[in-house]
Amino acid sequence: MTAVPSPLRLSPAECTCFRVRSAARRVTQIYSRHLAPTGLRISQFSLLGHVIARGPLSISELSDRLATDRTTLTRNLRPLLASGVIERAAAGDKRRHELVATLAGRALFKRALPMWAAAEQEVRDAMGTKLTADLHVALDRSMEKLAPL
């Protein structure tokens, strides 16, 4: 006999991908609404936050941390480079571009922080402390398990 009670027939209604993507859309809208006055999208906020927190980073390093495709990052950086919140510094290796936040970038992030916090709080208020914690744990563990090959 088999050890695992195999889920012989999976139905598309049980799609993990659909669930995660739906949730991402919903949640994104809440944060977008709060961050709108700053001119930052939530992805830009995350990106900028990582660059500020983790110091100079190459695009590849950043794409690893953010679980985002490198080429996606290249394009997501464009508005931020254009508006001068992030700069590219030359590295020893001429292929690399070290990304650093400018003073304006840090100031913008500081201004945006309360609005991000309000969004985060709205989500937590709606979901409750327990569900928020459970969701975070489940998502964090999932990301570990689904780490790229």
Residues that bind a second copy (CB under 8 A): 4, 7, 10, 12-28, 30-31, 42-43, 45-46, 49, 53, 66-69, 113, 116-117, 119-121, 123-124, 126-129, 131-132, 134-143, 145-146, 148
**Residues 53-112 contacting DNA, CB under 7 A:** 58-61, 68-72, 74-76, 79, 92-97
| Contact status: 142 vs DNA (CB under 7 A) | no
Long-range contacts of 26-33 (CB under 8 A, 24+ apart): 27/123, 30/119, 30/122, 30/123, 31/116, 31/119, 31/120, 33/119
- In terms of CB distance, is 100 or 135 closer to a second copy? 135
**Least distance from a second copy to the Cβ atom of residue 56, Å:** 19
Q: Taking the CB of residue 3, how many other CB atoms lie within 10 A of it?
A: 5
Going by C-alpha positions, the residue among 117, 50, 55, 54 that lies closest to residue 77 is: 50
The torsion angle over the Cα atoms of residues 53, 58, 61 and 67, rounded to 10 degrees, is 80
Q: Rule CB under 7 A: which residues touch DNA?
A: 21, 25, 28-29, 32-33, 41, 43-44, 58-61, 68-72, 74-76, 79, 92-97
